[in-house]
Amino acid sequence: MTSLSARLERLLEDLPRAYPGPGGAVAVLRRGEVLIRHAWGWANAERRIPFTPRTLFRMCSITKQFTCGLVLDAFPDPSVLDGDVSARLPRLEQAAPSALHLCHNQSGLRDYWAVAMLHGSPAEAPFGDTEAARVIAGARTLHFTPGTRYSYVNQNFRILSDILQDRTGRGLADLLRTRIFARAGMDSALLAADTRAMPDGTEGYEGSQSGGFRAAENRIQWTGDAGIGACLEDMIAWERHIDATRDDPDALYSRLSAPVNFADGTRAEYGFGLNRKTELGRVASGHGGALRGWRSHRMYLPEERVSIVVMFNHLSDAHAAAVDLLTAVLGEAAAQPPAPIPEPDWLGTYLEPETGLAVRLNMASDRLVRLRYGHVAEKLDLHADGSASSGGTRLRPGNGGLWMDRPQENQSSRLRPSEGTPATDIAGRYRCEELDAVVTIADAGTVLYGGFSGFLGQGRMEMLDPVGPDIWALPCPRALDHTPPGDWTLSFRRGATGGVEGLEVGCWLSRRLVYAPVR
Strand runs (DSSP E) across 267-347, as ranges?
Answer: 267-268, 270-271, 274-279, 282-291, 294-301, 306-312
Q: Concatenated DSSP letters for 84-147?
A: HHHHT-TT--SPPPPHHHHHTT-S-PPPHHHHHHHTT--TT--B-HHHHHHHHHT----SS-TT
Catalytic site positions:
61, 64
Backbone angles phi, psi at 18, to 5 degrees: -70, -30
CB count within 10 Å of CB 379 equals: 14
CA angle 102, 105, 109 (to 5 degrees): 75
Nearest in space to 367 (alpha carbons), one of 336, 405, 340, 334: 340
CB count within 10 Å of CB 472 equals: 23
Asked if residue 457 lies in contact with residue 480, where contact means CB atoms within 8 angstroms, the answer is no
Nearest in space to 139 (alpha carbons), one of 104, 98, 88, 83: 88
The SS3 call for residue 369 is: strand
| Cα dist from 64 to 270, 469, 514, whole Å | 12, 40, 31
